[in-house]
């Protein structure tokens, strides 16, 4: 037994090429330096994957990692962090999914799983109380992510909550670049195409039985008190399902409407109340489906009770899902938006990218850049829910025009070219933003474009900390300063690994939880260094991959000027280079190249990467 708590003590390495399973041990110094989750994943990615290795090369790694709080009393500590080289940016990816996996892997005696190689046949990995084996998965092919859970539960004779399953749907099997990985039913780790990476390895799923092992906690009373204080801070949180309604009535111009063509969503023909939390919960019911140790009420299963999609069961949509399948495509009927949200989860597609892709197709169809001939006979007018449903199936299976669209917004729009290419929303790296109109939320646009992970890296942290200098459009230097000030905090939370809604980036309480669990004297200052260490390591990896300074920016439409709404006429791009230089300087990076300076790397105990960064 180790003299510190919180860790099982080993990772499982699953080599699909050799169909071989071994253990990997990390010492206490390494665990404290990187903590777990995204931190340890970034270390493994940097050390084991060549920057020249493409995302679909067998030498790429898929790292599923938990942290010292996994399986404890901390709410949402069943979360997993997934690190790989992503299919959209071909650079570092860090994404998280809530659920049970992070707890159950601990109860089986592991802190995570490192997947490498590529199988000759479709397999799934089964972990049962410390024993792991590859099993034939051909009977699972074509199954969606919900059905895969049910099929494996039946195969393994496990009831609900006795098994945690992470899987890919048809989209991952067909290497759709924005395919995601799904935990249980509806918990998505999907930004930057990790499902395509998993599909390239012919790994359909990982199934973990709830094992008999426990997580050693050094000071249980102290951890219990921290868990209760964290819960008291968020106990009134009921989820983001009503976010479209709240954003619309607030009138801040933050809803992403019709592919950024406007900031005004005319709901005169439909009641916006249909998108409210009250209406959704009353109309679709809520069957609790909580994540590990979570007492919040937002994770539920819902059923569409009437209309053409009657009987469809969906995991409660988050705000971004309903934004993608509501205002982005100008769909004003909540049952249809709910259906599309559940469909993308089942097919194993990332909702944000799917919404931006459909919004781009619809704008191009309206303007004549794409016709029914281009779209296999589909009439992709705004709000055409059946057209979207059919096209999503075609994308997930790479059928017809779906083969082009499966490449994601950036590549599809560049392939079509001309005026159509100017309508597409994405970063120059190749990923798409989350579900707001970032032209009124400069801190999120800036963070999305400069992020190392293929999605937001710190944005909401600044808001939750109430940084006064963060005043939105019109204050560019303050925005980039706020992003730099909070950099590393979200990544630390993703290294723990705990649910964002439970932790709320409370670095003081989270550090105390680490101390209570491990027995270390772990401070908030040390926590931020852990986050910054991972940020800088991923930045070095990405630069060596070829993701250079010129890619830290938005596409033409993403960075465009709003034509109406509260931010009409205000444009971020006139300030972009100044924001970038200010951010680089504050981060301790070279302002000309974005490379972390040697002294910055040295101060973060990353001396070993200086040579690769500056002497190669």
CATH number (domain holding residue 114): 3.60.9.10
Q: Could you read off the pLDDT of 488-544 as tens digits, one per residue?
A: 999 999 999 999 888 788 999 999 999 999 999 999 999 999 999 999 999 999 999
Q: Is residue 200 part of a domain?
A: yes
Whether residue 475 is contained in a domain is answered as yes
| Residue 40 or 474, more confident | 40
Per-residue pLDDT band for 2 (boundaries 50, 70, 90) equals low
Mean of pLDDT values over 69-86: 97
Bigger pLDDT: 397 vs 271? 397
- Give dist(CA 281, CA 299) in Å, integer: 12
The mean per-residue pLDDT over the stretch 541-568 comes to 97
Check: CB of residue 307 under 8 Å from CB of residue 229.
no
Residue 355 lies in a domain: yes
DSSP string, 411-427: HHHHHH-HHHHTT---B
* Same domain flag for 198 and 273: no
What's the CATH number where 568 sits? 1.10.599.10
Q: Find out whether 224 and 73 touch, Cβ atoms under 8 Å.
A: yes
In this predicted structure, what is the pLDDT of residue 1?
A: 42
More confidently predicted of 537 and 615: 537
Domain tally, the chain: 3
Q: Are residues 413 and 559 in the same domain?
A: no
pLDDT by residue (tens digit) across 78-117? Answer: 999 999 999 999 999 999 999 999 999 999 999 999 999 9
Judge if 160 and 269 occupy the same domain: no
Whether 260 and 354 map to the same domain: the answer is yes
Count of helix runs (H) and strand runs (E) in the chain: 26, 15
The pLDDT tens digits for 405-456 are: 999 999 999 999 999 999 999 999 999 999 999 999 999 999 999 999 999 9
CA 217 to each of CA 42, 245, 520: distance values in angstroms, whole numbers, following the listed order: 26, 42, 11
Task: Clarify whether residues 191 and 275 are in a common domain.
Answer: no
Instruction: Say which DSSP state 492 is in.
Output: H
User: Who contacts 266 (Cβ-Cβ below 8 Å, separation ≥6)?
Assistant: none
pTM strictly above 0.85: yes
Please name which of 576, 581, 607 lies closest in space to residue 594, comparing C-alpha atoms: 581
In this structure, what are the phi and psi dihedrals at residue 157, rounded to the nearest 5 degrees?
55, 50
pLDDT at 470 exceeding the cut of 70? no
Q: Is 518 a member of any domain?
A: no
Residue 492 covered by a domain: no
- Could you tell me if residue 434 is inside a domain? no
Same domain, 452 and 402: no
* 36 phi-psi bin (left φ>0, alpha ψ -120 to 50, beta other): left
pLDDT for 467 equals: 62
Are 186 and 248 found together in one domain? no
- Given 390, 421, 452, which residue is the final one in a domain? 421
- Does residue 131 lie within any of the structural domains? yes
In this prediction, residue 469 has a pLDDT band, given cuts at 50, 70 and 90, of low
Residues 370-388: pLDDT tens digits?
999 999 999 999 999 999 9
What pLDDT does 269 receive? 81
Tens of pLDDT, residues 315-330: 999 999 999 999 999 9
At which residue do the structure tokens 């390591």 appear? 537
Which residue range(s) make up the domain with 161? Answer: 11-209
Confidence of residue 144 (pLDDT cuts 50, 70, 90): very high
**The domain spanning residue 374 has which CATH number?**
1.10.569.10
**Residue 72 is encoded by which pair of tokens?**
């404890």
Q: Are residues 449 and 597 in the same domain?
A: yes
The percentage of the chain sitting over the pLDDT mark of 70, rounded to a whole number, equals 97
Q: What's the mean pLDDT when you consider all of the chain?
A: 95
What is the pLDDT, as a whole number, of residue 3?
A: 72
The DSSP element (H or E) to which 115 belongs, if any, is strand 112-116
Most confident by average pLDDT, 177-191, 260-274, 472-486 = 177-191
Q: Answer yes or no: is 96 within a domain.
A: yes
Same domain, 361 and 474: no
**pLDDT 10s digits, 24-48:** 999 999 999 999 999 999 999 999 9
Determine the pLDDT at residue 339: 98
Residue 64, CB-side half-sphere exposure with 13 Å CA sphere:
37
Contact predicate 94/65, CB 8 Å = no
pLDDT category at 471 given cuts 50, 70, 90 is: low
Does 252 share its domain with 143? no
Residue that finishes a domain, picked among 209, 231, 254: 209
Tell me: do 187 and 265 sit in the same domain: no
| Domain boundary pick from 184, 209, 234 | 209
**Pair (346, 258) in one structural domain:** yes
């Amino acid at each position: 037994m180790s003299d510190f708590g919180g860790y099982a003590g080993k990772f499982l390495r699953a080599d699909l090429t050799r169909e071989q399973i071994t253990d990997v041990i990390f010492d206490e110094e390494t665990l404290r330096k990187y903590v777990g989750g995204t931190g340890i994943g970034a270390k493994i990615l940097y050390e084991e994957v060549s920057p020249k290795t493409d995302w679909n090369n067998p030498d790429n790694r898929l790292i599923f990692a938990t942290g010292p709080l996994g399986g404890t009393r901390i709410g949402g500590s069943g979360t997993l962090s997934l690190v790989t080289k992503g299919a959209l940016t071909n650079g570092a990816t860090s994404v998280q999914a809530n659920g049970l996996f992070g707890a159950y892997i601990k109860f089986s005696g592991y802190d995570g799983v490192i997947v490498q190689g590529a199988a000759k046949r479709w397999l799934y990995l089964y972990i049962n109380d410390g024993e792991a084996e590859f099993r034939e998965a051909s009977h699972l092919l074509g199954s969606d992510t919900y059905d895969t859970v049910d099929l494996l539960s039946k195969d393994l004779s496990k009831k609900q909550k006795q098994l945690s399953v992470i899987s890919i749907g048809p989209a991952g099997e067909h290497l759709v670049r924005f395919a995601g990985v799904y935990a249980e039913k509806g918990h998505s780790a999907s930004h930057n195409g990790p499902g395509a990476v998993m599909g390239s390895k012919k790994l359909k799923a990982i199934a973990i039985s709830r094992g008999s092992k426990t997580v050693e906690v050094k000071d249980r009373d102290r951890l219990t008190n921290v868990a209760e204080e964290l819960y008291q801070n968020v106990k009134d949180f009921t989820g983001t399902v009503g976010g479209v309604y709240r954003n619309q009535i607030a009138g801040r111009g933050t809803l992403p409407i019709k592919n950024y063509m406007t900031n005004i969503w005319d709901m005169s023909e439909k009641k916006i109340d249909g998108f409210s939390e009250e209406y959704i919960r009353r109309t679709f019911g809520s069957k609790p489906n909580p994540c590990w140790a979570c007492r919040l009420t937002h994770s539920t299963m819902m059923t569409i009770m009437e209309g053409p999609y009657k009987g469809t069961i969906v995991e409660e949509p988050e705000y971004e899902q309903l934004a993608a399948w509501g205002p982005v495509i100008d769909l004003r009927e909540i049952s249809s938006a709910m259906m599309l949200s559940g469909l993308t989860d089942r097919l194993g597609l990332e909702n944000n990218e799917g919404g931006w892709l459909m919004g781009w197709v619809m704008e191009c169809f309206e303007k004549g850049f794409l016709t029914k001939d281009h779209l296999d006979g589909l009439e992709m007018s705004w709000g055409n829910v059946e057209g979207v449903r059919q096209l999503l199936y075609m994308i997930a299976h790479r059928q017809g025009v779906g083969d082009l669209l499966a490449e994601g917004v950036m590549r599809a729009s560049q392939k079509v070219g001309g005026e159509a290419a100017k309508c597409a929303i994405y970063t120059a790296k190749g990923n798409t933003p989350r579900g707001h109109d970032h032209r009124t939320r400069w801190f999120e646009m800036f963070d999305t474009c400069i992020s190392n992970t293929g999605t937001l890296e710190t944005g909401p942290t600044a808001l939750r900390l109430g940084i006064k200098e963060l005043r939105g459009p019109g204050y560019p230097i303050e925005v980039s300063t706020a992003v730099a000030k909070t950099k590393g905090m979200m990544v630390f939370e993703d290294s723990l690994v705990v649910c964002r809604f439970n932790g709320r980036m409370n670095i003081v309480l989270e550090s105390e939880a680490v101390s209570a669990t491990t027995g270390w004297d772990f401070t908030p200052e040390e926590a931020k260094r852990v986050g910054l260490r991972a940020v800088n390591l991923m930045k070095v990896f990405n630069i060596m991959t070829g993701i250079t300074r010129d890619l830290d920016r938005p596409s033409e439409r993403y960075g465009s000027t709003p034509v109406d709404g509260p931010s009409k006429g205000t444009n971020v791009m006139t300030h972009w280079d100044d924001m970038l230089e200010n951010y680089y300087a504050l981060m301790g990076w070279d302002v000309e190249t974005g490379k972390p300076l040697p002294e910055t790397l040295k101060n973060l105990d990353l001396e070993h990467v200086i040579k690769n960064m500056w002497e190669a």
